[in-house]
């Protein structure tokens, strides 16, 4: 017994010795599970494609989201109720219009990535990472590599542009610093406006030759950047740089960094408009080469009956936005993920819709000022039209047979809703207005919007889910989307740039360079023709109180600006346009108004009341840099007046 | 008498919740997705970085020096006094100078921080049989401890009062509250106090904060170090027992001093949705808040609770960490007391048992504190499970 014990013990010792020589080392050399390095992301073409998508992500998922794009939220085209007991979305962007912007915790902070803003410098770093590693995947063909490099350079340019139009002068980070870079290295300085623009344009110029003219495999690649799209966005960058906010703006003439370097151009430079004009011209030519044009061909869906020309014109205009991208020749570039938010735009038109109001909150409220932008049916502004009773526009008038397809016959509404251009009826839902679609495809039976008081179907039922002005952004709703017993979305892609917008950019540049030429006017007239309006010259000559307006550069400039605001209304553009034109301050100088939505009598309902008081000062044209960012990097200077 | 001393290096590797802290951690299928194709048919989840590799990361080390004195005086008094001085270094800390323009997806950490802690542990006990009937004994302990950062990487704040170096490690940090606003007009004409981009401006009855840097804006640049540390610098306990013939009496006191805490307004503000997962609905109302809060009828600028609100965003101004909620956390407590009576040996022998003792004791009997809303040991949330008073009556029989 004792012998056996000893024997075993000796073997046991041996075993322990053997094990300790090998497995102990193994124990310490554990490779952590599920832990990769950035090299893993470039092992193969497919992995690298995943990283390319990551580079696209900020552009597609965040930057152009209407609820966080300053182009929409700070424009006052749409207002969002700010006093809901609980908010369905992050409303930071919508609050900024009331003057809540600050340096301690800025809203829509795209510099640091807080306050519902996206960290754009992270997006730029990802693009740089992509460019650093693009040679690694062995199975990536030369042609595809070339295209991906071009796409990544476009994205890098786009993110720098997104920062530029918010902040003006920005640090340019062309190459990633290593993680262990020193304190001195990481403290980038802001570059001047001209340096930033030249850098962005250089990136565009490197990218554009290697981008495809059209997407050959739309089933998988629709939404990837094309040459015409990059050209068009490059044109927008140059338009921004040429515009009054950045081109010789006296407010910023003395804005310098800590070394005394001027960050804004001291004087106005007219050649910037020429560059913008050239870029627009090239972009239009490339778009036409790619088969893009104004979408004037509306084909009614099966089941649509009794559609008159008047309503068809409205739908043709809406269709430029809401038609599916793959069949819509209007879209130069859009976001290939579906736009979500139609339920914020459609009034509740049936009893069943009211039973399901949770799915259909219809928050997006349009202030009266936005509705008054739209022209009369003579194609001129409502306060210029000799034939339109501007002074008495808020007096009651009852819908009649002549307006059967625009306003409910026999329903009392106001004069302002009569005799307006088709884009008004295509963009705005109003009390008494016909809402074609929403499940009823016979135009003669079309639903209308009864919005007065709590008893009306579209009226304010629940304080949490109310349209606070009495106007709905109808344009953002596809006419085939049904909200009745449940919700049936017919989705579309939100445009970043479409032909109508590009034509108006070109017209603007032509007018700035050459003055009111027939060429400039012809591009405005093409956009107006789709909306069923006469040309600028004849409309003004025949109906305006200032018939010679299109003959001066200033007059035509005002016409083009208003045309752009009407045509692109609710598409997240006017917030940017009004900034670069330096017009946002005057647009936001008056209270935003709506109707007395709780009243059920027309005479009481149509008493305008203040819904929101905007606050906008000169400093608000540019975003503030957070105080934390300024402390961490003391080479940065704060934007003027902040 | 005995003197002992020690010096050594002690390592601490529990510096992060991440096991492979030194290794790169990249998620190859989440973070930054995009969707392409007709009907958004083709998607990738994207790549995100959870951690950048750092081969130099190491554990933190503490240089520890102790010297202790043990002595007995007057035969019955034992005293132990221990002095210590610890210098910790290589404390893992997030690098603070990296601007957001670097575009890093994960914070960078490094072994940077240095801290010093020193203190005294004192304990003594004393026991004496005075005569056949009387025995008394006493014991006590006292800990004095202070610590502070001697190096802490932080941005070069222009405001000296924001710097961490030299401050106790667990010092409270926040705004300085002056009083409540008299009315809406005063709130409007005072320095701006909006704490988030969607935040609401304060109104009458909301807390008015002190604009420390005088820039007309109340924000994180007006925050500073407040009060005493959140862990006590002084902790003590002492007890006494007396025996007289068959009766005995003992009591034990404990306490802490030089400590502050914040009432947590997020947890105790009434009428707003509760943050506790197990509370459905709104937070309950503390009686003292009901009795003394600012209202139109009680415009007391120093009321216990400021203006009431029904949503968090409505009272966001008052939820900031500030001296308004800062309280002195020191207290002394009669932790336990006991009186007992033992049957004389002769009587118990007659009853046929070895011994019998009847006693009455209590726990947490009395607390002396300047903080009256709830027991200061509960900390900032008065709805924590309370400290209980316990009374026992007992008979101890040994057969």
pLDDT digits (tens, 9 = 90+) for A401-417: 999 999 999 999 999 99
- Give me the pLDDT at residue B57, please: 85
Question: What is the interface size between A and B, counted as CB pairs within 8 Å?
Answer: 198
Q: Report the phi/psi class of residue A486: left, alpha or beta, with left for phi > 0 and alpha for psi in -120 to 50.
A: left
Which of A41-45, A460-464, A552-556, B310-314: highest mean pLDDT? A552-556
CA distance B199 to B193: 9
Query: Around Cβ A439, how many Cβ atoms within 10 Å?
Result: 16
Query: What are the start-end ranges of the E strands in chain B?
Result: 2-12, 25-27, 34-36, 42-44, 48-51, 60-73, 77-94, 109-129, 134-151, 171-174, 177-180, 207-209, 224-229, 234-244, 247-257, 260-262, 326-328, 331-342, 355-369, 390-398
Identify the band that residue A26 occupies on the pLDDT scale cut at 50, 70 and 90. low
User: Cβ separation of A631 and B156 shorter than 8 Å?
Assistant: yes
User: Cβ separation of A51 and B34 shorter than 8 Å?
Assistant: no
Phi, psi torsion values for B113, nearest 5 degrees: -70, 150
Would B4 be classed as within a structural domain? no
Comparing CA positions, the residue from A551, A560, A552, A609 lying closest to residue A583 is A560
b/e map A529-547, b = 16+ CB within 10 Å: ebbbbbbbbebbbebbeeb
Q: Compare all CA atoms of chain A with the CA of B53 and give the residue at the minimum distance.
A: A37
CB within 8 Å of B392: residues ≥ 6 apart: B359, B360, B361, B362
Query: Around Cβ A585, how many Cβ atoms within 10 Å?
Result: 15
User: Cβ separation of A54 and B47 shorter than 8 Å?
Assistant: yes
Question: And the tokens for A151?
Answer: 């796409």
Query: What are the start-end ranges of the E strands in A58-107?
Result: none
Comparing CA positions, the residue from B104, B19, B301, B38 lying closest to residue A126 is B104
pLDDT at B129 over 70: yes
Average pLDDT, chain B: 89
DSSP state of B28: T
Q: What is the pLDDT of residues B3-34, one digit of tens each?
A: 999 999 999 887 777 777 788 888 888 888 89
User: How far B67 CA lies from chain A's nearest CA (Å)?
Assistant: 37
CA distance A453 to A600: 4
Identify the band that residue A104 occupies on the pLDDT scale cut at 50, 70 and 90. confident
User: How far A223 CA lies from chain B's nearest CA (Å)?
Assistant: 5
Residue B271 touches chain A, beta carbons under 8 Å: no
Asked whether A460 and A454 are in contact (CB, 8 A), the reply is yes
- Give me the pLDDT at residue A24, please: 47
CA distance B133 to A438: 99
Window 28-47 of B, Cβ < 8 Å to A: 28-29, 31-38, 40-47
User: Cβ separation of A40 and B28 shorter than 8 Å?
Assistant: yes
User: Cβ separation of B196 and A105 shorter than 8 Å?
Assistant: yes
* B46 chain-A contacts, CB cut-off 8 A: 50-51, 53-54, 57
Would B17 be classed as within a structural domain? no
Choice among A23-32, A62-71, B182-191 with the minimum mean pLDDT: A23-32
Would B3 be classed as within a structural domain? no
Q: What is the pLDDT of residues A437-496, one digit of tens each?
A: 988 999 999 999 999 999 999 999 877 788 999 999 999 999 999 988 878 889 999 999
Bridge partners, B241 (sequence order): B137, B250
- Give me the pLDDT at residue A11, please: 55
User: Cβ separation of B40 and A58 shorter than 8 Å?
Assistant: no
- The answer as to CATH 1.25.40.390 being correct for domain A39-68+118-256+266-292 is yes
Q: What is the mean pLDDT of residues A534-542?
A: 96
Would B42 be classed as within a structural domain? no
Percent of chain A with pLDDT over 70: 95
Bridge partners, A405 (sequence order): none
Nearest by CB: A105 against B42, B104, B195: B195
Question: And the tokens for B215?
Answer: 């820039």
Cα distances (angstroms) measured from residue A531 to each of A177, A416, A488, A491, B249: 52, 19, 28, 23, 99
Question: And the tokens for A194?
Answer: 């001209």
Q: What is the pLDDT of residues A369-402, one digit of tens each?
A: 999 999 999 999 999 999 999 999 999 999 999 9
Q: What angle do CA A110, A115, A121 make, to 5 degrees?
A: 25
- Give me the pLDDT at residue B141, please: 95
pLDDT at A4 over 50: no
Q: What is the pLDDT of residues B41-79, one digit of tens each?
A: 899 999 999 888 888 888 899 999 999 999 988 888 899
Residue A54 touches chain B, beta carbons under 8 Å: yes
Would B210 be classed as within a structural domain? yes
Beta-strand relationship, A486-488 and B247-257:
unpaired
Q: What is the mean pLDDT of residues B103-129?
A: 91
Nearest by CB: B197 against A56, A107, A113: A107
* B282 chain-A contacts, CB cut-off 8 A: none
Q: What is the mean pLDDT of residues B230-235?
A: 93
Q: How is chain A split into domains, by residue range?
A: 39-68+118-256+266-292, 309-323+337-494
Q: How many domains does chain B have?
A: 1
Choose the mutation target among B112, B197, B216 for the interface with A, i.e. most A CBs under 10 Å: B197
User: How far A183 CA lies from chain B's nearest CA (Å)?
Assistant: 7
- Give me the pLDDT at residue A519, please: 96
* A54 chain-B contacts, CB cut-off 8 A: 31-34, 44, 46-48
Q: What angle do CA B131, B137, B142 make, to 5 degrees?
A: 155
User: Cβ separation of B219 and A102 shorter than 8 Å?
Assistant: yes
- Give me the pLDDT at residue A240, please: 97
Identify the band that residue A619 occupies on the pLDDT scale cut at 50, 70 and 90. very high
Question: And the tokens for A602?
Answer: 């027309």
Identify the band that residue B392 occupies on the pLDDT scale cut at 50, 70 and 90. very high
* B156 chain-A contacts, CB cut-off 8 A: 631, 634
Domain holding B119, by residue range, is 69-398
- 3-class state of residue B13 by DSSP: coil
User: Cβ separation of B195 and A124 shorter than 8 Å?
Assistant: no
Q: What is the pLDDT of residues A234-268, one digit of tens each?
A: 999 999 999 999 999 999 999 999 999 999 999 99
Window 216-235 of A, Cβ < 8 Å to B: 218-224
The residue whose two tokens read 């043990």 is: B70
Burial of B54 (0-12, 13-18, 19+ CB in 10 A): middle
Window 79-118 of B, Cβ < 8 Å to A: 96-105, 108
Identify the band that residue A29 occupies on the pLDDT scale cut at 50, 70 and 90. low
């Amino acid at each position: 017994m004792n012998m056996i014990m000893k024997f075993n013990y000796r073997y046991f010792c041996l075993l322990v010795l053997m094990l300790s020589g090998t497995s102990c080392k193994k124990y310490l050399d554990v490779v952590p599970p599920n832990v990769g390095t950035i090299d893993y992301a470039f092992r193969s073409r497919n992995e690298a494609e995943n990283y390319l998508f990551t580079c696209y992500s900020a552009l597609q998922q965040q930057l152009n989201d209407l609820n966080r794009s300053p182009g929409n939220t700070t424009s006052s085209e749409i207002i969002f109720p700010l006093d809901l007991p609980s908010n369905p979305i992050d409303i930071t962007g919508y609050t900024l219009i009331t003057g809540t912007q600050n340096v301690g915790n800025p809203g829509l902070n795209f510099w640091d990535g807080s306050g519902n803003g996206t960290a754009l410098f992270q997006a730029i770093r990802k693009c740089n990472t992509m460019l650093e590693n693009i040679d690694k995947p062995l199975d990536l063909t030369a042609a595809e590599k070339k295209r991906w490099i071009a796409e990544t350079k476009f994205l890098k340019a786009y993110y720098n542009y997104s920062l530029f139009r918010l902040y003006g002068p920005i640090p340019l980070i062309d190459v990633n610093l290593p993680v262990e870079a020193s304190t001195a290295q990481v403290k980038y300085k802001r570059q001047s406006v001209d340096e930033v623009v030249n850098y962005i344009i250089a990136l565009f110029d490197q990218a554009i030759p290697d981008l495809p003219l059209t997407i050959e495999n739309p089933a998988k690649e629709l939404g990837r950047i094309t040459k015409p799209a990059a050209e068009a966005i490059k044109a927008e960058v140059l338009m921004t740089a040429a515009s009054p906010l950045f081109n010789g703006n006296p407010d910023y003439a003395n804005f310098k960094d800590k070394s005394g370097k001027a960050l804004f151009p001291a004087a106005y430079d007219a050649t910037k408009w020429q560059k913008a004009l050239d870029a627009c011209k090239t972009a239009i030519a490339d778009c036409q080469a790619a088969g893009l044009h104004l979408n004037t061909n509306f084909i009614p869906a099966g089941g649509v009956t009794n559609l008159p020309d008047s309503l068809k014109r409205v739908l043709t205009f809406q269709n430029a936005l809401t038609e599916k991208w793959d069949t819509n020749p209007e879209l130069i570039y859009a976001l290939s993920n579906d736009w979500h938010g139609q339920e914020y735009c459609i009034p509740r038109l049936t009893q069943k819709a009211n039973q399901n109001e949770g799915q259909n909150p219809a928050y997006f409220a349009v202030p009266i000022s936005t509705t008054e932008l739209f022209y009369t049916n003579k194609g001129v502004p409502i306060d210029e039209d000799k034939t339109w009773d501007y002074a008495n526009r808020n007096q009651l008038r009852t819908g009649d047979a002549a307006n059967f397809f625009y306003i409910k016959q026999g329903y009392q509404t106001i004069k302002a809703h009569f005799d307006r251009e088709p884009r008004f009826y295509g963009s705005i839902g109003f009390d008494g207005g016909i809402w074609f679609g929403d499940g009823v495809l016979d135009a003669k039976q079309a639903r209308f919007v009864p919005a007065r008081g709590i008893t009306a179907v579209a009226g304010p039922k629940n304080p949490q889910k109310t349209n606070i002005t009495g106007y709905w952004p109808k344009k953002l709703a596809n006419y085939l989307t049904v909200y009745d017993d449940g919700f049936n979305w017919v989705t579309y892609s939100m445009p970043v740039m479409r032909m109508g917008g590009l034509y108006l950019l070109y017209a603007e540049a032509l007018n700035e360079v050459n003055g009111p030429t027939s060429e400039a006017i012809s591009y405005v007239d093409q956009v107006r023709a789709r909306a069923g309006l006469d040309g600028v010259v004849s409309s003004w000559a025949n109906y305006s109180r200032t018939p010679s307006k299109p003959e001066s550069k200033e007059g035509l400039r005002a016409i083009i600006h208003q045309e752009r605001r009407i045509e692109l209304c609710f598409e997240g553009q006017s917030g940017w346009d009004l900034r670069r034109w330096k017009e946002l301050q005057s647009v936001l100088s008056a209270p935003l108004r709506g109707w007395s939505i709780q009243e059920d009598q027309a005479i009481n309902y149509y008493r305008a009341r203040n819904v929101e008081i905007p606050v906008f000062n000169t400093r608000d044209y540019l975003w503030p840099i957070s105080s934390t960012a300024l402390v961490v990097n003391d080479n940065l200077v704060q934007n003027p007046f902040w | 008498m005995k003197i002992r001393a020690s010096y050594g290096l002690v390592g601490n590797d529990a510096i992060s919740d991440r096991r492979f802290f030194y290794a790169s951690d990249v998620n190859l299928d989440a973070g930054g997705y995009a969707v392409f194709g007709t009907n958004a048919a083709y998607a990738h989840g994207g790549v995100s970085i959870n951690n950048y590799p750092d081969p130099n990361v190491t554990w933190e080390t503490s240089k520890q020096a102790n010297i202790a004195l043990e002595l007995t005086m007057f035969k019955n008094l034992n005293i132990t006094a221990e002095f210590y001085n610890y210098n910790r270094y290589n404390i893992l800390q997030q690098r603070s100078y990296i601007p957001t323009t670097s575009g890093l997806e994960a914070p960078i950490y490094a072994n940077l921080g240095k801290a010093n802690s020193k203190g005294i542990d004192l304990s003594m006990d004393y026991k004496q049989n005075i005569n056949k009937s009387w025995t008394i004994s006493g014991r006590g302990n006292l800990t004095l401890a202070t610590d502070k950062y001697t190096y802490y990487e932080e941005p070069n704040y222009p405001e000296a009062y924001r710097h961490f170096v030299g401050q106790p490690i667990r010092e409270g940090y926040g705004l300085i509250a002056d009083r409540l606003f008299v009315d809406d007009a005063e709130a409007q004409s005072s320095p701006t106090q909006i704490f988030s981009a969607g935040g609401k401006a304060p109104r009458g009855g909301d807390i008015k904060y002190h604009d420390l840097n005088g820039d007309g804006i109340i924000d994180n640049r007006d925050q500073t170090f407040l009060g005493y540390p959140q862990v006590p610098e002084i902790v003590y306990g002492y007890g006494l027992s007396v025996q007289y013939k068959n009766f005995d009496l003992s009591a034990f006191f404990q306490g802490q001093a030089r400590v502050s805490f914040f009432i947590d307004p997020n947890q105790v503000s009434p009428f707003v949705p509760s943050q506790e997962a197990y509370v459905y609905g709104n937070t309950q109302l503390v009686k003292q808040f009901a009795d003394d809060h600012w209202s139109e009828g009680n415009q007391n600028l120093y009321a216990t609770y400021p203006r009431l609100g029904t949503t968090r965003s409505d009272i966001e101004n008052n939820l900031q960490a500030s001296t308004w909620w800062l309280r002195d956390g020191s207290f002394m407590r009669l932790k336990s007391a006991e009186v007992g009576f033992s049957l004389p040996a002769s009587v118990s022998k007659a009853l046929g048992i070895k011994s019998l003792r009847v006693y009455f004791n209590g726990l947490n009997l009395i607390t002396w504190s300047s903080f009256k809303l709830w027991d200061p040991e509960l900390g900032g949330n008065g709805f924590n499970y309370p400290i209980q008073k316990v009374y026992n009556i007992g008979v101890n029989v040994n057969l």
